[in-house]
Amino acid sequence: MLQLAYTSLACKPFKQADLLKLLQQSRMFNAQKDVTGILLYKDQSFFQVIEGEDSVVQDLMASISKDYRHNTLTTLYTREISSRNFDLWSMGYVNIDHNHLDLDGYDNNEFKFPLQNLQGNLSELVNIATAKKLVITFSKREPVPELKASVNKRA
């Protein structure tokens, strides 16, 4: 299995509705293909981790890198994994744009986000070392009970 992390810049600011549409589309595909991961959005930028079978991850990355909605895609790392970090998530999602964090599936009260107070977009903030820290931060977090069904089944 492969795990891949990248950052990119959205061509225009994503509204909440745009993000939801992207998430719905992604979760449906990811559930079918057994892809898991997380997507962060901040200041018109994305950080995403995807994991799954090698060829599936490679094909998905080929599609994602052609997507007209973003550009300046930088792969931070690709690594072989024997177990997943996001096995509960077809695509966990965090919007860091608001003062009030929008944590789709994460428990807001327990959660302290390491990038919340930093200025700038994710392409500037996240390097390989930060990417690995973020993966550990979000890894294996249980979906909050009321979201568990929708997060996993909507997927």
Ligand X SMILES: Cc1cc2nc3c(=O)[nH]c(=O)nc-3n(C[C@H](O)[C@H](O)[C@H](O)COP(=O)(O)O)c2cc1C
Binding site for ligand X (CB under 6 A): 8, 22, 25-26, 29-30, 39, 46, 48, 50, 60, 63-64, 67, 69-70, 91
Cβ at position 148, least distance to ligand X in Å = 19
* C-alpha distance across the termini of the chain, in Å: 20
Cβ-based nearer residue to ligand X, 46 or 106: 46
Which residues, at least 6 apart from 110, have a Cβ–Cβ distance to it below 8 Å? Answer: none
Cβ-based nearer residue to ligand X, 91 or 103: 91
Cβ-based nearer residue to ligand X, 9 or 101: 9
H-run or E-run covering 55: helix 54-66
Cβ at position 85, least distance to ligand X in Å = 15
Cβ at position 69, least distance to ligand X in Å = 4
DSSP letter, residue 141: P
Q: Is there a contact between 89 and 148 (Cβ–Cβ < 8 Å)?
A: no
Which strand ranges, in their side-by-side order, compose the sheet holding 45-52? 70-80, 2-10, 45-52, 36-42, 92-95, 102-104
Cβ-based nearer residue to ligand X, 46 or 138: 46
**CA separation (Å) from 37 to 11, 86, 95, 118?**
22, 5, 15, 23
Cβ at position 142, least distance to ligand X in Å = 21
